Amino acid sequence: MVSPPISSDKMNRAVVAFLDGRRLKGYILNFSAFKESFRLFPDDPARQQTGSDIFMKHLKAVFFVKDFEGDPDYRETTSRDAPKHGRKVVVTFVDGEQLLGATEAYNPQKLGFFLFPLAENSNNLRVFVINKSVRQVIVS
């Protein structure tokens, strides 16, 4: 029995950042912060057989985004405003990149944690940060 195609509006747009610097864009269905892998589908999520297995151990982060284009000139603000939920964090990755946001569940012993942007105009909806790819997390 063949399962019906899944429309892209039921899936999450994501940019997957690998530790080696590569980035892949695609769609994710049923992402779990507790699993070691997930399936990334290219531009046509209805063709499920074309998905690729992505393993968390190879990743820096998974960016769940509003759209794939983004704004190359956008710079994250360093707002001093308190986050709506959770605690403010500054994440520094092993490659030196920094992200500012808020989290409700940072635990360095877990696989990773979700970070939510403070700026409403960010293209990121949320970011799943892989703990082993982080040099430092400052919680304020």
Domain boundaries, the chain: 8-65, 87-139
DSSP assignment, residue 3? P
Fold of 8-65: SH3 type barrels. (2.30.30)
Q: 8-65 and 87-139: same fold?
A: yes
Residue with tokens 């605690």: 87
State pLDDT tens for residues 83-120: 667 899 999 999 999 999 999 989 999 999 999 998 88
Reported confidence tier of residue 3, pLDDT bands at 50, 70, 90 = very low
pLDDT at 126: 95
pLDDT at 96: 95
CB 22 within 8 A of CB 41: no
* Mean per-residue pLDDT over the chain, rounded: 84
Is 2.30.30.100 the CATH number for 87-139? yes
- Best CA proximity match to 16, nearest among 137, 112, 136, 118: 112
Reported confidence tier of residue 2, pLDDT bands at 50, 70, 90 = very low
- Best CA proximity match to 120, nearest among 83, 68, 93: 83
